[in-house]
Amino acid sequence: MADIRIVLCRPSHPGNIGAAARAMKTMGFSDLRLVAPQRPPAPQDEWMATHAADVLAAARTHATLAEAIADCAAAFALSARPREWSPQVLDVRAAATRAASVAAPVAFVFGSESAGLTNDELFACQFLVHIPAAPGASSLNLAQAVQVVCYELHMAQGPSVPGMRTEKLATVEDIEGLYGHLEEAATSTGFMAPGSRLRERWRRLFSRVPGLEREEVNILRGLLKSLLKK
């Protein structure tokens, strides 16, 4: 996993710090830095940091952004506002992909809730990153922006999606047994008339079900058996 650092410059709301910590934890990141926070740590931090108290407790505070990113190989500045003069501009997905390929610490830098990043803070970074949004509504809450960035970073590292519990797959013999049972039921009830193409129809139907499980076949055959008894 890439060495990712989340840096919050001059955050004003303790709840956003806690929520940012939670956003990081859900995506597997833990290096949180605070640059000159406007309020000291408060209970709201912990209230919003559900299951991420460890990230919050380990957060380091710095006096300046330069201090917070001094050992990073690259820094990505987040801003919703276009700048006439800025570092190279990337969308958040491209930025995450680039950051994931760097074999050294990299920082994603966020500004204050009310004013964002200053020009000096922006130019302390090598990239300007935008989160694409609807026209006229491009400004995200600080913690929401951290969540989007952490999600894209997580995805850029190729996570595996937890799969469903797998059952034993039906064999050809299992499925042929089902077809025979269907034919028996259709014939005995008079549902399948002579010359009917039902056999081809149900084979076509089940061919469109990928990964049919043995238990599923057994359920259908159990139902047919019960109906035939009646």
Which of 43-47, 79-83, 186-190, 194-198 comes out lowest in average pLDDT?
A: 43-47
- Which residue intervals of the chain are DSSP H helices? 14-26, 43-48, 53-58, 65-68, 92-100, 119-123, 142-156, 172-188, 198-207, 214-229
Please report which confidence band the pLDDT of residue 67 belongs to, taking 50, 70 and 90 as the band edges. Answer: very high
Mind giving me the DSSP string for 186-230?
A: HHHTT-S-TT--HHHHHHHHHHTSTT-BHHHHHHHHHHHHHHHH-
Among 11, 64, 57, 63, which residue's Cα sits nearest to residue 31?
57
Decide: 43 and 143 in contact? Cβ < 8 Å: no
- Calpha distance 28→51 (Å, rounded): 12
Model pLDDT for residues 1-60, shown as the tens digit of each residue: 679 999 999 998 888 899 999 999 999 999 999 999 987 666 666 667 777 889 988 999
Backbone CA torsion sign across 43, 45, 48, 52: negative
pLDDT of residue 35: 96
pLDDT of residue 44: 63
pLDDT at position 169 over 80: yes
Backbone angles phi, psi at 36, to 5 degrees: 45, 60
Q: Which domains does the chain have, with CATH numbers?
A: 4-156 (3.40.1280.10), 172-229 (1.10.8.590)
pLDDT of residue 144: 93
Which of 39-43, 184-188, 192-196 comes out lowest in average pLDDT?
A: 39-43
221-to-53, 135, 180, 186, 226 alpha-carbon distances in Å:
52, 56, 10, 13, 9
Please report which confidence band the pLDDT of residue 164 belongs to, taking 50, 70 and 90 as the band edges. Answer: low
Indicate the pTM of the whole model. 0.72
Model pLDDT for residues 75-129, shown as the tens digit of each residue: 999 987 776 666 788 999 999 999 998 989 999 999 998 888 998 999 999 999 9
Backbone angles phi, psi at 142, to 5 degrees: -55, -50
pLDDT of residue 38: 85
Model pLDDT for residues 125-147, shown as the tens digit of each residue: 999 999 988 877 767 899 999 99
2-to-10, 58, 94, 177, 214 alpha-carbon distances in Å:
25, 19, 15, 52, 42
pLDDT of residue 24: 94
pLDDT of residue 218: 93
pLDDT at position 72 over 90: yes
pLDDT of residue 1: 60
pLDDT of residue 42: 64
> Mean pLDDT over residues 190-209, rounded?
88
Among 119, 9, 116, 117, which residue's Cα sits nearest to residue 62?
9
- Calpha distance 168→174 (Å, rounded): 11
Please report which confidence band the pLDDT of residue 193 belongs to, taking 50, 70 and 90 as the band edges. Answer: confident
> What value does the mean pLDDT of the chain take?
88
Decide: 185 and 228 in contact? Cβ < 8 Å: yes
- Calpha distance 77→106 (Å, rounded): 11
Decide: 19 and 145 in contact? Cβ < 8 Å: no
106 sits in which H/E element: strand 106-110
Residue type present at position 3: D
